[in-house]
Amino acid sequence: MIPTIETERLKLVPPSLECFDAYEKFYTDEEASKMYGGPVNKEQVWARLKADLGSWHLLGFGVWVIQLKSDNSYVGTCGFWQGKDWPRELTWWVTPEGRGKGIATEASNAALLHAYNEFKWDVVETYMNDENVAARALVEKLAGKKVRREKFNDGLSRDIYVLPKPA
C-alpha cells in the first residue's frame, strides 16, 4: 500500500486516474516540462502516470502526487524515481500556477523525512541537468551537498547531491 503523507498545506497522495489532468497540464506545456523531456503527447502523459504508479509496485518507492489541502487540486509530484541503470533520486515537478509558493520545498522535505524515517535509507541523492537552475536552487535550499559528477547512460554528465534529513 502506498502511504499518504500530510504537511501543513499539502497531501502527498498515490498516483491515480484522478490526477491525470495535472500530469497532462504539466507534460504538454512546453516551458513547464522542458527539463522533464516534454512536451509530450497525451499517450506519453498516460505512460508517465502509469510508470509513476508502477514504480511503487516494482521498486517499493515512487512519487506522490502533490494535492493542496485548501482546494484538493493536484499541482505536481514529489518523491523518488529510478530509471533503469540510473541512481535513485528525489525528484519533483510543479505546475506553473503552483510555482513560487514553497510547494516543492514543503513536499521535498516531507518526502525526505519519509525516506530517512520510514524507508530507513542511509542516503538520499538527487541530480539534474546542468541547465536546470530552478532545481539546483531548490537542492541548495534543502541543504544538498554536491558529492560527485557522474556520466549517465543518456550521454549527459550531472552533478550528484546528497540531501540531509530535514530537522
- Please enumerate in sequence order all residues whose Cβ is within 8 A of that of 2, keeping only pairs 6 or more positions apart, or say none: 14, 56, 62, 64
Q: Grid coordinates representing 75?
A: 499541482
124-128 β-sheet, strand order: 124-128, 157-163, 145-151
Q: How many domains does the chain have?
A: 1
Mean pLDDT of all residues in 29-43: 95
Mean pLDDT of the chain: 97
Q: 52-111 pLDDT, tens per residue? A: 999 999 999 999 999 999 999 999 999 999 999 999 999 999 999 999 999 999 999 999
The three grid cell numbers given for residue 152, joined into one nine-digit string: 549517465
First to last CA, the chain: 27
pLDDT at 70: 98
| pTM for this prediction | 0.96
Q: What are phi and psi of 145, to 5 degrees?
A: -120, 125
What is residue 40's predicted lDDT score, i.e. its pLDDT?
97
pLDDT-above-90 percentage for the chain = 98
Which H or E run contains 148?
strand 145-151
What is the structure's pLDDT at 54? Answer: 97
Secondary structure class of 130 (helix, strand, coil): coil
Residue 103 maps to which CATH number?
3.40.630.30
**What pLDDT does residue 140 have?**
97
Average pLDDT over residues 140-166: 97
pLDDT given at position 116: 98
Per-residue pLDDT, averaged over 123-136, amounts to 96
What are the C-alpha distances in Å from 128 to residues 15, 16, 116? 23, 26, 21
Residues 48 and 141: their CA atoms lie apart, in Å, by: 27
pLDDT in the model for residue 119:
98
Give the residue numbers spanning the domain of 96.
5-163
Mean pLDDT of 37-42: 95
Q: Which of 147, 153, 155 is nearest to 126 (CA)?
A: 147
Q: What percent of the chain has pLDDT over 70?
A: 100
Q: What is the largest CA-CA distance in the chain?
A: 42
Which residues are CB-contacts of 90 (< 8 A; sequence separation ≥ 6)? Answer: 78, 79, 80, 108, 111, 112, 115, 124, 125, 126, 163
Cα 98 to Cα 26: distance, rounded to the nearest angstrom: 11
